[in-house]
A and B are shown apart, each in its own frame.
Chain A
Amino acid sequence: MSNQALPRPRFNAPEPERAAKADLKLEPRTAPLLPGKVSGIPDAVFGWAMRFCGLAVVSLLSLIVYELIVGSQLSWHAFGWKFFGHSDWNPVEEQFGALPFIYGTLVSSILSLVIAVPLAVGVAVFITEMCPVRLRGILSFTTELLAAIPSVIYGLWAIFILVPLLRAYVQPFLATTLGWTGLFSGPPYGIGMLAAGVILAIMIIPIISSITREVLTVVPQHQREAVLALGATRWEMIRMGVLRNARAGIVGGVILGLGRALGETMAVTMVIGNRPEIAKSLFAPGYTMASVLANEFSEATGDVYLSALIEIGLALFLVTIVVNALARLMVWSVTRGQPTKGVA
C-alpha cells in the first residue's frame, strides 16, 4: 500500500534544530476569570439603537417632505398650477405668482454654468494632464479651499468688490460690444442677474472641477497612450483620448454644479437686486426662489403669504432632488467599479 519510492515526511529522522527551548513558565491554570453567563440584551439594545439612527435619517427626509407639503396646502388650493405660471407677486393683494422666481433661478444658474464650466473643466484638465506633478497637490488643495468659504462671505465680497467692478468696467464693456443682443441693456447698476451669475459661477467651480478631475483620472492610461502613439499632440490626446471618454462624468459634474447653484441662497440674495420681475437684460435686477425665501419668510404676514413661500420651498426642494439624482447617476455610470485615485 505505501509506496516507498515517493518522499514523505521523515518521521523517525533526528529532530531538526528546535528553536531554543523558551522557558514559558507555564503555571497551573486558575479558575476562569470572566463571568460564565453572558447576557444577549446589550447586543440587542445596541443593534436597535443603531437601526434607530438609520431610521432617523429616513424620518428626517420624510419630515421635510411632510412639512413642505402640509405648509403649502393653503397656497396650492388657492392658486393651483397657475401659481407657477403667473408673474404677479403681490403680498398686499394676496396675489402670488412664482414665475419671476423660477425665471430668476433658472437664468442665474444657467449663466453661472456658462461661466463656470469652461473654467472648471480647464482647471481640471490642467491639474490632471498638464501640470507638473509637484504642483498637483497644491493646486487641487487651493481649488478645494474655494469650496470652504461660507456663502455669506462670498456675498460680502461680491457686494463691495465684485459689483463695483462690474458696474465700472465689465458692464459698460459688455454694453458696447454685445449690447445689440439685448442681453446687456439698461442702466449698469452692478447689482443684478449678471452679478448673481458671476458669484454663483465662482462658488460652483470647485465642485465641477473636483468631479471632472475624478472622472479624468479614471480614464485608463492606455487610452491616452493609444492616441499619442498615433502621433497626436498633447491637446489632441486630451481631446480625443480623455475628454471624449469622460464626457458622461463631466456632464454629471456639471449637473451637480447646477444643483448646487439652484439652491444657493445668501450670496445670490446679496447681489441680485431682489426685484420680482422678468427682464431680458442680464443687467436687470431679478429674484430667485431661494432669495425670496431668505428675504420674505420671516416677515410674511398672513397664512396665504406664508403658504405661498412654503410652496416655493417645495418646488425648490423637488427640483434640486431631481437634478442631484440625475447628476449622481451620470457620475456613477462613469466611475463605477473604477478606483478614483490614480490612473488605472
Chain B
Amino acid sequence: MTSTSTAIVIPPISLWRRIVDRTMTGVAVLTVILVLLPLFAIFAYLVYKGIGAINWAFLTQTPKPVGEPGGGMANAIVGSMVILAIASVLGVPLGIGAGIYLSEYGRNRYGDAVRFISDVLNGVPSIVIGIVAYAMVVLRQKHFSALAGGVALAIMMVPTIARTTEQMLLLVPQAIREAAYGLGVSRWRTTLSITLRAATSGVITGVMLAFARVAGETAPLLFTAFGNQFWNWKTDQPTAALPLQIFTYAISPFDEWHQQAWAGALVLIVLIVSAVSAVRIAVRRGTLAGA
C-alpha cells in the first residue's frame, strides 16, 4: 500500500495541433473575407460607375442611337413596372390562394403532392419558364408582349408565395380560429378575416421577397417581352424592361452604352431595395400597439 498519490500527467497539446488549430481559424477568416470581397466590390462599382450616368435625362428619355449623347432608360424602367404589375396581378392572388389551400384545406396527401410540386416548380431554371411562356403566349398571339413577360414572372412568383403564405398561416394558433368558429363565423370568413389577417405581415413579406426576386430576372423576359428601344404603352407589343436593357447594353461594343448599363443596374438595385423597404415600413405602421 503506497501512500504516494499518483499524479495524472496530461501531456500538453502538441505544438503541431495548436498550429493546425490556429491555421484553420485563419483559413476560415480568409474565406469570409474572400466571400465578402465580391459583395463590396459589386456595390462599390455599381455606385462608382453608375452614379455618373444617372441624370434627369437618363430617367426620362428613351435610348438614343449610338453616337448621339444622352438618352436614357425611361421606357425600360416603366416597362419593368408594367410587366411586374401584370405578374403581380396574376401571381399574387394565385400564390396566396395556393398557400391558403395548403394550410387550411391541404393537410392531407393531396396537399402533400401540391407542396412537393410547388417546390419542384421553384427549382425550374428561369429560362425554361421563359420558353414555356413563349409557347403559351407568344406563339399563340404571334407577337412578343408585356403580357407574356408578366405570365413568365407570375409562374415564378407562385411557388414562393404559396410556400411562405402557408408557413405564415400555420403559425397562427389554432385557438384563434376556434375563437372565430365559436362565435358562429363561417369558415371562409374566418380564413380571410381572422387567420389571414393575423398572418398579414408575414404574408406580405413573402410576397415582397418573391417580387424582389423576379424584379431582377432577365432570362424569362428574353423571348417574352423581348425588349424595345421605344415607348410602348400596349400590353401586346414588345416591351422594354430594365434588366433586359442592362443586358443588351452590357454586351454591346459601345462605351456610352456600357456606362448606361451601370446606371441602369444601380437604378434597378435602388428600386428593388426601396420597394421592399417601403412595404416593410407600411406593414409596421399598420399594426396596433401591443399587437
Contact = CB atoms under 8 A, between A and B. Distances in A.
A34 B183 CA distance: 12
B149 interface: no
Given A71-B135, A205-B35, A236 B21 contact: yes
B119 A233 contact: no
A157 interface: yes
A139 interface: yes
Given A49-B97, A50-B105, A290 B127 contact: yes
A56 interface: yes
B96 to A, nearest CB: 8
Given A42-B188, A53-B98, A123-B31, A68 B132 contact: yes
Contacts of B27: 122
Contacts of A148: 212, 272
Contact of B246 (A63, A152, A238): A152
Interface residues of A, number: 84
Interface in B221-273: 222-223, 226, 243, 246-247, 250-251, 258, 261-262, 265, 268-269, 272
B136 interface: yes
Contacts of B105: 47, 50-51, 54
A294 B158 contact: no
A326 to B, nearest CB: 11
Given A145-B39, A236-B21, A298-B226, A64 B123 contact: no
B123 A126 contact: no
B162 A57 contact: yes
Interface residues of B, number: 86
Interface in A237-278: 238, 259, 262-266, 270
A46 B187 contact: yes
Interface stretch (B12-20, B54-62, B170-178): B12-20
Contact of B155 (A49, A60, A259): A60
B125 to A, nearest CB: 3
Contact of B106 (A54, A125, A143, A153): A54
Interface stretch (B65-73, B110-118, B199-207, B278-286): B110-118
B159 interface: yes
Interface in A288-344: 290, 293-294, 297-298, 309-310, 313, 316-317, 320-321, 324-325, 328
A68 B127 CA distance: 12
Interface string B179-221: 0000010111101000000000000000000001001111100
B132 A63 contact: yes
A30 interface: no
B147 to A, nearest CB: 16
B20 A151 contact: no
B94 A53 contact: yes
A264 to B, nearest CB: 8
A67 interface: yes
A148 B270 CA distance: 12
B31 A154 contact: no
Interface in A63-107: 63-64, 67-68, 70-71
25 contacts: A42-B189, A50-B104, A51-B105, A53-B98, A53-B101, A54-B102, A54-B105, A57-B117, A60-B155, A61-B121, A67-B132, A68-B128, A122-B31, A126-B32, A148-B212, A153-B246, A153-B268, A153-B269, A156-B246, A156-B250, A233-B13, A266-B247, A294-B127, A297-B223, A317-B124
In the complex, the 6 A-B pairs of residues with the closest C-beta atoms, listed nearest first: A150-B216, A263-B125, A122-B31, A53-B97, A46-B188, A54-B101
Interface of A: 34, 38, 42-43, 45-47, 49-58, 60-61, 63-64, 67-68, 70-71, 118-123, 125-127, 130, 139, 142-143, 145-146, 148-157, 159-161, 202, 205, 209, 231, 233-236, 238, 259, 262-266, 270, 290, 293-294, 297-298, 309-310, 313, 316-317, 320-321, 324-325, 328
